Structure 1
Amino acid sequence: MATTGPSLLSATLASGSSLVLLQLFSRVVTFVLNQALVRLVSPQVFGTTSIQFELLLSTILFLSREGVRNALLRAPSNVASSSNQKVANQLITNISLLPVLLGIPTAVLSAVVYLGSSSSVTSSQPHFRLSVALYVLAAFFELLSEPLYIRTQNELRFHVRVRAEGTAVMLKTVVTFLVLVSATEEWALLAFAFGQTAYGLAMLVSFAIACSDSLDFRPKRVSVTTQNRTESLLFEPALFSLSIAMTGQSLIKHFLTEGDKFIVSRLSPLADQGGYAVAANYGSLIARIVFQPIEETARVFFSKTLSSSTAESETKKTPAGSREALQTAATVLLTLLLAFNHLLLFAVTFGPPYLSLAICLVLPRKYLATSAPSILHVYVYYIPMMAFNGVLEAFFASAASPADLRAQSRWMLVFSAAFVAAAVGFARGFGMGDAGLVWANVANLALRAGYAWAFVKRFFREQGAGDLVGWKRAVPPLPVLAVFAGAAAIVRGSASSYNGVPLHLIAQKGHLATGVACLLGCLLTCVVLERKAVMQLVGPLRKAR
């Protein structure tokens, strides 16, 4: 049975809710764990595991699977006949095995390069090489589960991933904590390595159990008849070409995404790497809980919706179904952008005046002397930009042709050069230190989001639906902007008057009361002035459900 627009929207919205709850659970658990870990281990150990080891892990996983994963989201969820469905499923299965094959040389090469380039201070830590080997093993466990992950995603069985990741996060947390509290400081690196290995193994076992009805993932050739000609295929040509294009692009994209960690791991002392890791963990908490699930579910929704609109327009020779799908995609995109614009307003208005107080309350004392506080101040601007870029690039990845991907890759080379120049300039030239790297990331994300938005406009225009998207529909009205500007002036004036007052809740109670009053005023303004506009925007989505 076909996956219709409304049922697809309902499934992806349910998926988004489930993933937000999963991220909330996993990040709260991780946050509590980190609060304990940063008190149990030194900044040097935390910097090695959270910056360098995590960078090694993400490099292996991202380069091996990201391109294939995004390409296969466009695979049709169903085909007209059962025989054709069986053929299509086998071709998709064959492509889904590529991350495992790519992962072996990628893991070996990444580990060799990392070990060869590690400083003597880093590599002299106890059990360093064994910990690296365990992180590589953990990455390979995750890659072995990738064909099963792709199958469940294309079958819209999102609950499988929620259950698998929830189990894996809990197991990783328990293993890491138990090793740390039961062993000496010498085992600190191995504690994190054992925890990550447990995570990868739990992911593999969970997906294997969920797909136990069919675990035969041997690549098989199938016979396909097209235009009275039968040919033997191992991969579906269009999806394979798209997978190769996206995999090739992933190297550049990975550098742009993790470029700050690359630079920090090479240039900053281990203690500052620990401070950077703590700041990143705290600063990106909201992004990981809310925006990462939104980006992932948006990518699934846009991929399925836009591919189905193309299929309908080709088979029915009418733009009616395609127009409806395009309108739904545009509404989802604009609704998300409107929400993120409000996030930006709240972050810029209330973040800077109250962040110093929050840092002193949450951040462990030994990290106050690191780069963590200055980095967290930049996250006020970094998090909203992550949100904008995430959803816009999700749309781009869902609709772009191989030619579009090649064009984006060329521009990403330009963005990479700009990022490196900005990172060096901000961090060294302007004396911002590690915070300068985050500012460079903000600029990089803004360029990427702008490029993706230009693609969105062009895509809808070429589909004859340019009227469906417009930036004005995603921006709050002027009265709302004016209220936020007034609130920003008030809370900054309050912060100035409390300058020099101890950073404690009781001592700062007047400043906090001012912030709460202004926050309530901004929320009330949004509800009163934007309720009608928001209802008009999300009305089609409610009907679709």
Structure 2
Amino acid sequence: MGSQEVLGQAARLASSGLLMQVLFRLITFVLNAFILRFLSKEIVGVVNVRLTLLYSTTIFLAREAFRRACLSGGAQQDWSQTLNLVWLTVPLGVFWSLFLGWVWLQLLEVPDPDVIPHYRTGVVLFGLSAVVELLGEPFWVLAQAHMFIKLKVITESLSVILKSVLTAFLVLWVPHWGLYIFSLAQLFYTTILVLCYVIYFTKLLSSPESTKQQTLPVSRITDLLPSITRSRNFVNWKEAKLTWSFFKQSFLKQILTEGERYMMTFLNILNFGDQGVYDIVNNLGSLVARLIFQPIEESFYIFFAKVLEREKHATLQKQKEGEGQTRRFLQLVIHRTSYLSPWPQEDIAVAAMVLESLLKLALLAGLTITVFGFAYSQLALDIYGGAMLSSGSGPVLLRSYCLYVLLLAINGVTECFTFAAMSKEEVDRYNVTMLALSSSFLVLSCILTHWCGSVGFILANCFNMGIRITQSLFFIHRYYRESPYRPLAGLYLSPVLLGVFALSGGITGVSEVLLCCEQGWPARLAHVAVGAFCLGMTLGIACLTETKLVHFLRTQLGMSRLTDKTT
């Protein structure tokens, strides 16, 4: 598959994921806002911090490294060995579930059963749900590697919606069940998730169309199970070694990703009520990151992993002249993006163009969220959770998180490319940096939380995210240093556009002081209208000044449609 076909499928995957996740997340958003009005802050804190941390840590440690390693395979990938390697996530998940469950029950403070009943059962069921989800991991890896466009999004979104519906129903019907409600809903979610994948592949592999096309490396559903043959090794040892490198990295990355929750859980920095408010604000602040940036990062990681060869820098990537549609596509893209070489190194040229455009897109989206989020944080929290969120530290937390979202957006793109292009040795060296970041995060979080409360967690995350971005930027600069391509130009914006962002921030800030949020709904609606006008003005100027990005998005829309027709 040529780079332009992979790019078209990646664009299609990202756009489909974005649109469908927006729809499903909006439904979930409404259901969660409804549920919050019937819960105490303490229940929210235990479920969303303590128990969810158990589940996410088990899942992350058991599968993250396997996903990255197994999706980096080339055209000659032996899928029976890859699937055998992926199945190792299940026993690994059982181990982590048992070990972490023991820690959660024996070493951590157990909540007051009168306030938060059935905590022990919650720990058991959340650990079990993590193991159940890992049973679907081979199906997920196969679907991602072959870019099954809507399967992942529909499956995950449908499972989340059904989980939210069940939670809302149980909260209204049997509120005295306490943590039983959320534990059963979590187990229901993972079961539906796995069943959707199993049913989809069972029907696909039993259909005559699939047999004729032979697009998959398996022909029967039983081929997805572990297989042992004497003619070859059980796993590909190169993939296994890469998995170990990613595992060491993922362990450290998990500390950075969930660091504040670990500190809340193990150091008791905040009580359960404050933990609940922090987590709700954190989830609300990261909503756009999950809706927009995560689908882009996941889709284009696959693109970069397929297009670029590991352990080879830009000047050593494979060269192709390209024919027919490939040639016309490249001439159009390279010419419009100012890469004027008439015969570029095809894959590296397209990768550079994509990286530059993604950086520009992430920067614009992150700046928009930061500028407009500052003036609308309190209103958003009041609508979402009422006075429980909009009073106290909630608005300050969300404003701080808006800045963090900007860094998340840039880091997602830079690490997406970096992890796809790094050699095993470079991944190992990066692990040392992650270890230093993990240590600095813990120290900095302790200092900042004692100084400014829960906002200190977000500030510490911003610091560490800035360091990670810097590391990735250095790698990208070295990678392209001896080539004619400069994808880091995507981080530059025109002075006019920066001025418009500053003007919009000032206008909406004044509007918040005068119109929101204690002046009644007419004043609030006027505040929203001011923001809508400023947002429209900003987007309009962005379209006029960032013509290369606009052309890239139009080109990818065209490639996505072309991929739709050819598939």
Structure 1 residue 130: deviation in Å? 1.1
Structure 1 residue 22: deviation in Å? 3.5
**2:306 aligned with 1:304:** yes
Structure 1 residue 301: deviation in Å? 1.2
Task: Confirm or deny: 8 A CA contact 1:328 1:541 kept in the other structure.
Answer: no
Task: Go from structure 1 to structure 2 and tell me whether the alpha carbon gap of 1:459 and 1:238 turns closer, same or farther (over 3 Å shift).
Answer: farther
Alignment correspondent of 1:228: none
Distance in 2 between residues matched to 1:515 and 1:173, nearest whole Å = 31
Alignment correspondent of 2:162: 171
Alignment correspondent of 1:218: 226
Give the letter for the 1:525 counterpart: I
Task: Confirm or deny: 8 A CA contact 2:382 2:389 kept in the other structure.
Answer: no
Structure 1 residue 538: deviation in Å? 5.4
Structure 1 residue 117: deviation in Å? 2.8
* 1:42-65 Cα deviation digits (max 9, x unpaired): 111111111111111110000000
Task: Go from structure 1 to structure 2 and tell me whether the alpha carbon gap of 1:368 and 1:509 turns closer, same or farther (over 3 Å shift).
Answer: closer
* 1:473-502 Cα deviation digits (max 9, x unpaired): 332211211222233334434445x28972
Distance in 2 between residues matched to 1:203 and 1:539, nearest whole Å = 34
Distance in 2 between residues matched to 1:469 and 1:537, nearest whole Å = 16
Matches for 1:364-379 after TM superposition, within 5 Å: 364-369=386-391, 371-379=393-401
Alignment correspondent of 2:14: 16
| C-alpha RMSD of matched pairs (Å) | 2.7
**2:535 aligned with 1:484:** no
Deviates more, 1:239-248 or 1:349-358: 349-358
Give the letter for the 2:185 counterpart: G
Alignment correspondent of 1:110: 100
Task: Go from structure 1 to structure 2 and tell me whether the alpha carbon gap of 1:448 and 1:309 turns closer, same or farther (over 3 Å shift).
Answer: closer
Distance in 2 between residues matched to 1:148 and 1:264, nearest whole Å = 35
Identify the match of residue 336 of structure 1 among 358, 363, 371.
358
Distance in 2 between residues matched to 1:359 and 1:412, nearest whole Å = 34
Task: Go from structure 1 to structure 2 and tell me whether the alpha carbon gap of 1:135 and 1:503 turns closer, same or farther (over 3 Å shift).
Answer: farther
Structure 1 residue 327: deviation in Å? 1.6
Identify the match of residue 453 of structure 1 among 462, 470, 473.
473
Alignment correspondent of 2:186: 196
Alignment correspondent of 2:427: 405
Task: Confirm or deny: 8 A CA contact 1:65 1:99 kept in the other structure.
Answer: yes
What's the secondary structure of 1:121's corresponding residue? Answer: coil
Distance in 2 between residues matched to 1:542 and 1:278, nearest whole Å = 35
What's the secondary structure of 2:242's corresponding residue? Answer: helix
**2:258 aligned with 1:243:** no
Gaps of 5+ in 1: 80-84, 224-231
Structure 1 residue 525: deviation in Å? 1.8
Structure 1 residue 361: deviation in Å? 3.3
Distance in 2 between residues matched to 1:280 and 1:505, nearest whole Å = 26
Q: TM-score, normalised by structure 2?
A: 0.85
Task: Confirm or deny: 8 A CA contact 2:359 2:490 kept in the other structure.
Answer: no
Structure 1 residue 522: deviation in Å? 2.1
Structure 1 residue 142: deviation in Å? 0.7
Alignment correspondent of 1:534: 549
Structure 1 residue 91: deviation in Å? 1.2
Task: Go from structure 1 to structure 2 and tell me whether the alpha carbon gap of 1:448 and 1:180 turns closer, same or farther (over 3 Å shift).
Answer: same
Structure 1 residue 200: deviation in Å? 0.9
Distance in 1 between residues matched to 2:420 and 2:233, nearest whole Å = 25
**2:26 aligned with 1:28:** yes
* 1:410-450 Cα deviation digits (max 9, x unpaired): 1111111221222122211x3x2111101111111111111
Give the letter for the 2:455 counterpart: A
Matches for 1:517-532 after TM superposition, within 5 Å: 517-531=533-547
Task: Confirm or deny: 8 A CA contact 2:378 2:517 kept in the other structure.
Answer: no
Task: Confirm or deny: 8 A CA contact 2:318 2:347 kept in the other structure.
Answer: no
Deviates more, 1:30-39 or 1:300-309: 300-309
Alignment correspondent of 1:75: 73
Distance in 2 between residues matched to 1:200 and 1:409, nearest whole Å = 31
What's the secondary structure of 1:58's corresponding residue? Answer: helix
Alignment correspondent of 2:327: none
Matches for 1:409-448 after TM superposition, within 5 Å: 409-428=431-450, 430=451, 432-448=452-468
Alignment correspondent of 1:162: 153
Alignment correspondent of 1:264: 264
Give the letter for the 1:134 counterpart: L
Task: Confirm or deny: 8 A CA contact 2:64 2:250 kept in the other structure.
Answer: yes
Task: Confirm or deny: 8 A CA contact 1:357 1:503 kept in the other structure.
Answer: no
Task: Go from structure 1 to structure 2 and tell me whether the alpha carbon gap of 1:514 and 1:131 turns closer, same or farther (over 3 Å shift).
Answer: closer
Alignment correspondent of 2:379: 357
Alignment correspondent of 1:136: 127
Distance in 2 between residues matched to 1:509 and 1:439, nearest whole Å = 31
Identify the match of residue 109 of structure 2 among 96, 100, 119.
119
Distance in 2 between residues matched to 1:47 and 1:317, nearest whole Å = 52
Identify the match of residue 291 of structure 1 among 290, 293, 297.
293
Identify the match of residue 402 of structure 2 among 380, 392, 397.
380
**2:417 aligned with 1:395:** yes
* 1:53-87 Cα deviation digits (max 9, x unpaired): 111111000000000001111112x44xxxxx7xx
Structure 1 residue 222: deviation in Å? 5.3
Distance in 2 between residues matched to 1:33 and 1:347, nearest whole Å = 23
Matches for 1:174-189 after TM superposition, within 5 Å: 174-185=165-176, 187-189=177-179
Deviates more, 1:124-133 or 1:89-98: 124-133
Give the letter for the 1:239 counterpart: E
Deviates more, 1:58-67 or 1:522-531: 522-531
Distance in 2 between residues matched to 1:395 and 1:501, nearest whole Å = 42
Task: Go from structure 1 to structure 2 and tell me whether the alpha carbon gap of 1:346 and 1:503 turns closer, same or farther (over 3 Å shift).
Answer: farther
What's the secondary structure of 1:158's corresponding residue? Answer: coil
Alignment correspondent of 1:226: none
Give the letter for the 1:357 counterpart: L
Question: Identity of paired residues, percent?
Answer: 28
Structure 1 residue 530: deviation in Å? 2.5
Give the letter for the 1:294 counterpart: I
Distance in 2 between residues matched to 1:434 and 1:359, nearest whole Å = 17
* 1:16-65 Cα deviation digits (max 9, x unpaired): 12222342233223212211211111111111111111111110000000
Give the letter for the 2:165 counterpart: V
Distance in 1 between residues matched to 2:34 and 2:467, nearest whole Å = 37
Give the letter for the 1:12 counterpart: A
Task: Confirm or deny: 8 A CA contact 2:404 2:458 kept in the other structure.
Answer: yes
* 1:356-393 Cα deviation digits (max 9, x unpaired): 33333333223345543321111110112111111211
Give the letter for the 2:257 counterpart: T
Deviates more, 1:90-99 or 1:54-63: 90-99
